[in-house]
Structure 1
Amino acid sequence: MSKKGIIYLFIILFFSGIHSNIAQNTSEETQPLAEILTELETQYSVHFTYVDQTIADIYIVKPDKNFTLEELLDYLKSEANLDFILVDNHNIVISKRMNPLSSIITQKLEEVVITNYLTKGISRKSDGKTSIKTADFGILPGLIEPDILQTIQALPGILSVDETVSNINVRGGTHDQNLILWDGIKMYQSGHFFGLVSAFNPYLTTDINVSKNGTSVIYGDGVSSVIDMQQSNSLDQDFKAGAGFNLIHADGFAKVPLNKQAEIQVSARRSVTDFIFTPTYDQYLQRVFQDSDFSNSEQNTTPIVSNNERFYFYDIATKLLYDITDQDQVRVNFSTINNSLTYDQISLTNDNESLTNTLEQNNFAGGIQYLKYWNSKLTTTAQLYISNYDLKAIDFDVINNQRQNQENEVKDLGIKINATNHIDDNLKLHGGYQFNEVIISNLEEIDIPDFTSFVREVNRTHSIYGEAEFTSADKNTYARIGIRTNFIEKFSEFFTEPRLSVSHKLNNNFRFEFLAEFKSQTTSQIIDLQNDFLGIEKRRWILSNNEDIPIIKSVQGAFGVHYNKNKLFISAEAFIKNVEGITSRSQGFQNQFQFVNDIGKYQVKGVDFLINKQFESFSTWLSYSFSNNDYTFDNLNNSNTFRNNLDIRHAVTFANTYSINNLNLALGFNWHSGKPTTLPEEIQNNANNIIEYKSPNSDNLSNYFRTDISATYKLKFGNKLDASIGASIWNIFDRKNIINTYFATDENGDIVTIDNLSLGITPNISFRVRF
């Protein structure tokens, strides 16, 4: 089918689905509790907080519309056999009827400022962070499954200049400046398919919290943001499972009760790309490998053929939950993430010699956590974990008969001890200790000429922290203030990092907030050469040595004003962030600074704006981000300030979601100004094949524009079995967006322009079952 045919078919299905679903008569004697709660939130202007599994498979008769809120809660408690705890006039916590200690602690939840932020399942908290619940997730344009790291890019101030989840830029920062946690374990790999698919299975990763500023002192690292992912942490006593597939991968998950005190959770996912060729895979293949050794680059005039390629990825996650008593809990988990690529290169001018190139990328994580409820006020947790990242490549140069081995390995061993004390209903205290030992090694071997380089760095960090959270009796004011002190053994240096988050409700409609933080990190990613690791996964992790690779430090602050009334949410947040200690090798320069190593800093100032209007079945939003992001390096550009490689001055998103009965639809537009680029001088002296460039980042690529559409439909087969089907088209108009441009010289010394293009029109379909 042609591309136009795909578009027309999708539009027909899109609108026929609306018509058929409006025509359905869904009035029944009983309805799912989840659907009823959604209606009650609108009717009573309240928000229900719950774990999705708590209300799953519960059907009740709709309550009387004339009930008072108190009468409504009594009715729901009786009919659903659950606890409905009124935290304040607008927030209600739903939980299973449990032991007194757990019930009391459950009431100490952070206040939700706005629910269904952008779409169902996303909410904004009073401390400035954004919470995503995958089990409640609605739909976003271009997505038919709750891809975690794609979803957070819908938030203002977060985007990826190259469309990958392995290069997420939060307010102008590089990807390595994001702290990505999975059940408290730092992850050094975030993407499958070398960045086009999130590496974290969303069907057991139930809660994601994203903080761009004012983060809790519990978190170290991450000078740009924290992305904290949590698997389900409660025993449900119910067997649940599901499986599904799309045009890239198939997956399955299960939650299996072992007895009343124990449960095991398992999820697994594997690509189907090594034995099924799909149009989605074709687009992904072109996008990822267009500028790698796998594809013939434009400046390569020697005929080389790559074939017999085999690519696949998989991930497996397991978690054991064991409640020793009502007050003692043990959680054990592990995860493994893998990408694997092999392909042959054949030289047509060298006796058709064939050699196999390989690239392996893996992240293993494992941990054990013990949680103790001492009483209704005091809780402690202790966690021991290890995270191991390994990137290996074998690259054969068939023309020069040369073999190159490269390896980048990270071993991160951590211990975390935390205590939380609920002084009263308005004050909560946190305190704790964290230890990390990080070992990073880099290996490079070349056979002709014989060359070996091996660098191994070790760093141990001890951290202590304390923090107070305050909520006023009228729930109008929230404040969290804390301080974290890191001691780095290798350098015998202390780093003190205060953090602050304050929000105050002026009246029922207006709220303002102030966020500020100091942060530091000792790990970062660099690029030695653009063709490292086959030119596909170019970045390698390194450790600070306090010399040519300093410790990265950041200071940032933000002030925001938010308006929320009658499902209309308007938000404006101004921010400033200063980050120092970056190296030029970490910024991915492909101009006159590509082979220069220097130390510098950047400053980004800007405003994030959002307007979101929700109706009963419809949500629409417009977000706009303006930022000015500039470098200053000690020895580059005569120490003058110049534009950051990630200086996206303007970014706009306009999107709509529509839900009726079991049908979800989404349509969205993404536009942003082109990233900076450096052009060659018009007059060149190429005697030495050296390109003379204009001022760094003084020009821009063309503006980026993309339109996405998606639809999902749920099928109910009974109380225990349901299914869903989905379809999406990414970049529906097949716009050729240039996401990067650089220049090289060919064998004749002529300058060649290499453009990297974004994903073209990319269809996808999915089918899932749950039981």
Structure 2
Amino acid sequence: MAIRNHNFFLPLLGIALFLVTIVKGQENGSRTPLIDFIQELEHNFDVKFSYADNDLKNIWISVPKASTLDATLNDIEYQTQLQIQKLNDRYYAVTKTKTVNICAQVLDNFEQNTVSGATVEILGTAKATVTDENGNFYLTNVPRDAYVQIKFMGFKTLFVAVEALISRDSCATLLLAQFYQQLEEVVVYEFLTKGLIQQTDGSLQMNSEKFGILPGLIEPDVLQTVQALPGIKSVDETVSDINIRGGTNDQNLILWDGIKMYQSGHFFGLISAFNPYLTDQVTLIKNGTSAQYGGGVSGIIDMRTQDKIAEKYFGGAGLNLIGGDAYAQVPLNDKLAIQFSARRSLTDLIATPTYDRFFKRVFENSDVTQENNFYFYDFTGKLLYDFNEKHKLRFSFININNLLDFTERHMEDNRVTQSALDQTNLSFGGSLRSHWNEKLSTFLNAYYTQYNLDARNISSNSRQILFQNNQVQETALQLNTNYIINDQLQWLNGYAFSETGITNKTDVTQPPYQSNERDVIQKNALFSEMSYRSDTQKWFARGGLRCTLLENPNAFQKFLVEPRLSLSYSITRALKLQLLGEFKSQAINQVIDLEQDFLGIEKRRWLVSDEDVLPVTQSKHGSLGIHFDEENFYVGLEGFYKDVEGISTVTQGFQNQNQFNGEIGKYTVKGFEFLINAKTSSYSIWASYTYNNNDYSFPDIVPPNFPNNLDIRHTATLAGTYTLERFKFGIGLNYRSGKPYTEPDWTDPIDTTFYPYRINYKEPNSNRLPEYLRADASAVYQFELGRRMKASFGVSVLNLASRSNILDTFYQLDENDEIEKIENVSLGLTPNASLRLRF
């Protein structure tokens, strides 16, 4: 039974706002000219300083908090990298050091997106480096009177005096201006909406802080946003069942701060479980994966929370028709900060129109009614500690909970039975990022995650009690080393270890049955990868190899070699060819318990591969694309081929004659994706189309080849957004062809030779559902409540036309052994509204 805790998050917003307010006084102290402060020291401590006015006149410092003269002078030396020499008890000499340490973050001056891979050179010396994935660089022993040159394709070269980059409080921020004249350079294109960027290596990055608006969304839900991209969809309208190029959701690797997540949704998948307002960067990879990633044969969604200690606190809070949330980062000093987020649904307290639509969608074919108790919550925390600019420690945790209590009263004897379905995920992780010198950096990451699913169902006659438990426990460690050979070459190497234990328990009272199974899979992997970028910026190449030893102590040992490739060539500044390829594998999959197994609600259980009933899944994926991006216009066309072997019918969600037998086979996807987008600073209009030909091959099924359960041949989107001063609008139309399903053989529908009776079906997936069509709209108004307080109010409507789209159809025998047709219908017209504060 779910633990009741209705009031746990009720004061959430008020407490969060209060916590942020009381730390306002901890903002960085005031800054003052160094010469003025030295004159104060001379007066307060009766000392004299000797210095050259020209050396100190443009230097400002944060006022030291030290109470003694020695500690104050040490603080000044640390801030300014000046040398202060004590001549005697009264006289001091202040001189400039010949060399200093510098750091900065490089951004573009248009949307201030991070610029990774930019070349940084100290003119007149041999010192050079490139910016990391966050746009940062750090150099030591740099001549104080030198200049820094920063170059990156598509941007004007920037020259900065070394003296301007000396700071203790934080690294400087440098803005690169876009440069459009040199045809041999290529600009990374930002498309569809602000904060959504295509990278040189073929991946896509989303920045939640800069995110614009998409039709139907009033908040930057990460797992909803990725579905706006070609080749990515959810056949059942959820975020917990995202299908990337025809793959099932368990074939996606979802990471949060480097931690593998086994639960990704609330409200049985209709809402993302990750707070978007502390999610700083999301990387989506469909193909051409870096060798540092293991698992996820279909795609990768890598989410990273805010990783930089802010100079001032920031945060926000919001309320919509499903729940409320709050988040904040609080810098305790210039080296230490904490950040948190929390969210709780209002579903067990108040019924809103949005909740009504969501509830109907999830429980439409179940025994659950709205008189029963259901709610969810999540909270996260992160500790950020900078030893210095070269070594940074991070510690993160996340807790996700979905809780359902189902009470049923029986009219004939007024008996009450109670069932429960609880989903929880608790994860902890830590990382240490180190820059040892201009050439070598390392990243150490470790985590522990635990996922738990508890289901308890009491039959209507109270004679049978069914208890099911699925628990995943995973411990992992990974070390990456990155070595910059020269301006063109980088070399990534690393080692990864993980151990995953999965327990499945079943306990039935009548007839008596108990099962308690636990399996463990261990993975040891070595990987190496070389990246090359030509001087002209025309060529980018990344090739790598990942070698993995899989071991299930009770079943098998397997060694896999997985090559990875990302190659792009810029024909002109605007026109680029891209070739991507990868071999990948995974040894953990989800078995789908169908709707008829528990209260009419679909459940999914994780299982470890044993190379017998459930083999290791392996994929081969290749794609070739051509992309044209010229200022505010983008056209992209990409063809792909994917072959995935080692799948089982129990992981694919069959609801016909193949759903229980566990046959082993594969699927093959061939198709292409097309996207055209025109945008300016005020509007963005786009159209996309995806063609998939997705077929199963199961040698033990007749016929052996037939359409995949996710074979959606045609998918198209037409959408646009418009910004008018403080208003943002979005409207879009989504279309896709029907999903395959299997009908009974109506000439001989029931097989009475078995007990209980069975349905005789036609050939698998020989029928198709009607086409899917949905129109969505959203609008957001932004305004200010003060100097630091900003607010927004948004409204959205999903399925404007209230069209009843059939998402799935299956058949079952009722208590009279008659065939019953079950249809899962999409969300109807679903409104939502939100009010958010940001400070």
Q: 1:647 to 1:388 in 2, by over 3 A?
A: same
Partner AA of 1:280 in structure 2: T
Distance apart, 1:422 and its partner CA: 1.7
- What is the alpha-carbon distance in structure 1 between the residues aligned to residue 437 and residue 526 of structure 2? 24
- 1:646 corresponds to which residue? 710
Q: Match for residue 778 of structure 2?
A: 710
Cα pair distance change 1:685/1:517, threshold 3 Å = closer
Which one of the candidate residues 152, 155, 158 is aligned to 1:87? 152
Paired position in structure 2 for 1:667: 731
After superposition, where does 1:72-221 map in structure 2 within 5 Å? 86-90=151-155, 113-221=187-295
Cross-structure match for 1:585: 650
Name 1:678's counterpart in structure 2.
742
Q: Determine the C-alpha separation between the residues in 2 that align with 1:587 and 1:352.
A: 40
Please tell me whether residue 375 in structure 1 is matched to residue 440 in structure 2. no
Q: 1:8-19 alignment to 2 at 5 Å?
A: none
Task: Judge conservation of contact 1:583–1:597 (CA < 8 Å) in 2.
Answer: yes
Corresponding residue of 1:32: none
Distance 1:226 1:112 in 2: 25
Give yes or no for contact 2:594–2:601 (8 Å, CA) kept in 1.
no
Partner SS state of residue 527, structure 1: strand
Structure 1: distance between partners of 2:250 and 2:520:
18
Picking from 290, 303, 320, the partner of 2:364 is 290
String of CA shifts for 1:615-661, please: whole Å, max 9, x gaps.
Answer: 231100000000100001121124x2100000000000000000121
The equivalent residue for 1:343 is 406
Deviation at 1:493, TM superposition (A): 1.9
Distance 1:734 1:216 in 2: 42
> Who is 2:811 aligned against?
743
Q: Is the 8 A contact 1:113 1:125 kept in 2?
A: no
1:334 to 397, 402, 409: 397
Match of 2:701 in 1: 636
Instruction: State the Cα distance separating 1:249 from its structure 2 match.
Output: 1.0
Q: What is residue 622 of structure 1 aligned with on the other side?
A: 687
Distance 1:92 1:542, change over 3 A: farther
Corresponding position: 1:388 with 2:481: no
Aligned counterparts of 2:189 and 2:350: Cα–Cα separation in 1: 40
- Kept in 1, the 8 Å contact 2:153–2:186? The answer is no
Question: Which one is further off, 483-492 or 621-630?
Answer: 483-492
Q: Which one is further off, 255-264 or 340-349?
A: 340-349
Report the Cα distance in structure 1 between the residues aligned to 2:660 and 2:468, rounded to whole angstroms: 19
Q: 1:451 deviation in Å?
A: 1.0
Q: Which residue of 2 aligns with 1:696?
A: 764
Shift of residue 98 of structure 1?
Answer: 6.6
> Which of 375, 378, 384 pairs up with 1:312?
375
Match 1:467 to one of 529, 542, 545 = 529
1:369 match: secondary structure: strand
1:486 matches 2:548 = yes
Alpha-carbon displacement from aligned partner over 1:455-507 (angstroms, at most 9, x marks no partner): 10011110010111111111111111000000113333210000000111001
Moved more, 195-204 or 565-574: 565-574
Q: State the 1:106 CA deviation.
A: 9.7
SS of the equivalent of 1:336 reads strand
The 8 Å contact of residues 446 and 478 in structure 2, kept in 1 or not, is answered as yes
Aligned partner of 2:709: which letter?
N
Describe the SS at the equivalent of 1:259.
coil
Q: Tell me what 1:442 maps to.
A: 504
Q: Alpha carbons of 1:528 and 1:162: their partners in 2 closer, same or farther (altered >3 Å)?
A: closer
1:223 counterpart letter in structure 2 = V
> Matched residues in 1 for 2:175 and 2:314: separation?
27
Q: Deviations over 1:680-702 (max 9, x none)?
A: 12223536342221111111000
Matched, 1:560 2:633: no
**CA gap 1:99/1:520 in 2 versus in 1, 3 angstroms:** farther
Shift of residue 153 of structure 1?
A: 0.2
State the Cα distance separating 1:92 from its structure 2 match.
Answer: 8.6
Matches of 1:685 and 1:135 in 2, distance apart?
A: 56
Return closer, same or farther for 1:216/1:307 CA change in 2, 3 Å cut-off: closer
Match for residue 657 of structure 1?
A: 721
Do the aligned residues in 1 keep the contact of 2:593 with 2:602 (CA within 8 Å)? no
Deviation for aligned residue 1:721? 0.8
Cα distance in structure 1, aligned partners of 2:339 and 2:598: 35
Instruction: Determine whether 1:770 maps to 2:770.
Output: no
- For residues 307 and 277 of structure 1, the distance between their equivalents in structure 2, rounded to whole angstroms, comes to 9
1:113 to partner: Cα distance: 4.8
Q: Does 1:248 align with 2:311?
A: no
- Letter aligned with residue 666 of structure 2: K
The Cα shift of 1:49 comes to 2.2
2:825 aligns with one of 754, 757, 760: 757
Q: Is the 8 A contact 1:156 1:625 kept in 2?
A: yes
Match of 2:417 in 1: 355
Deviations 1:418-468, CA, capped at 9 Å, x for gaps: 111122222111110000000001000011222101110011110010111
Q: Deviation of residue 348 (structure 1)?
A: 2.2
Q: 1:208 to 1:92 in 2, by over 3 A?
A: farther
Q: Please, which of 334, 350, 354 is the counterpart of residue 276 of structure 1?
A: 350
Aligned counterparts of 1:383 and 1:268: Cα–Cα separation in 2: 24
1:531 Cα deviation after fit? 3.3
Equivalent-residue separation in structure 2 for 1:410 and 1:534 (angstroms):
23
For 2:590, which of 511, 525, 528 is the aligned residue? 525
Contact 1:554 1:580 in 2 (8 A): yes
Preserved CA contact (<8 Å) 1:85 1:107: no
Deviation at 1:328, TM superposition (A): 1.3
Q: Secondary structure in 2 aligned to 1:702?
A: coil
Query: Is contact 1:139–1:666 with CA below 8 Å preserved after alignment?
Result: yes
Q: Deviations over 1:48-97 (max 9, x none)?
A: 4249xxxxxxxxxxxxxxxxxxxxxxxxxxxxxxx995533437999995
Does 1:261 pair with 2:335? Answer: yes
The 4+ residue runs of structure 1 with deviation greater than 6 A are 91-96, 102-108
Residue deviations 1:698-725 (CA, integer Å, cap 9, x gap): 1100000000000001102333111000
Instruction: Provide the C-alpha distance between the structure 1 equivalents of 2:271 and 2:449, rounded to a whole number of angstroms.
Output: 20
Q: Deviations over 1:527-582 (max 9, x none)?
A: 25543454424110000001111000000100000111131100000000000000
| Aligned mate of 2:464, from 402, 406, 412 | 402
Deviation at 1:115, TM superposition (A): 3.5
The yes-or-no answer on 1:719 pairing with 2:793 is no
User: Residues 22-41 of structure 1: CA distance to partner in whole angstroms, max 9, x if unpaired?
Assistant: xxxxxxxxxxxxxxxxxx98
Task: Give yes or no for contact 1:384–1:416 (8 Å, CA) kept in 2.
Answer: yes
Moved more, 376-385 or 625-634: 376-385
Separation (CA, whole Å) in 2 of partners of 1:451 and 1:573: 52
Q: State the Cα distance separating 1:382 from its structure 2 match.
A: 1.1
Partner of 1:735, secondary structure, is coil
AA in 2 matched with 1:341: L
Deviation by residue 1:152-196 (Cα, 9 ceiling, x = unmatched): 000100000000011100000000000000011000001000100
The root-mean-square deviation of aligned C-alpha atoms, in Å, is: 2.4
Aligned: 1:425 with 2:493: no
Which structure 2 segments of 5+ residues have no match? 1-106, 116-147, 177-184
TM-score by length of 2: 0.79
C-alpha distance in 2, partners of 1:312/1:112? 48
CA drift of 1:595 comes to 1.6
When structure 1 is superposed on structure 2, of 118-127 and 87-96 the one drifting more is 87-96
Alpha-carbon spacing, 1:479–1:97, altered in 2? closer, same or farther (3 Å): same
SS of equivalent residue, structure 1 residue 744: strand
Task: Give me the whole-angstrom Cα distance separating, in 1, the residues matched to 2:542 and 2:154.
Answer: 22
Tell me, in whole angstroms, the C-alpha distance in 1 between the residues paired with 2:158 and 2:548: 36
CA–CA separation in structure 2 for the residues paired with 1:159 and 1:526: 20
- Identity of matched residues, %: 45
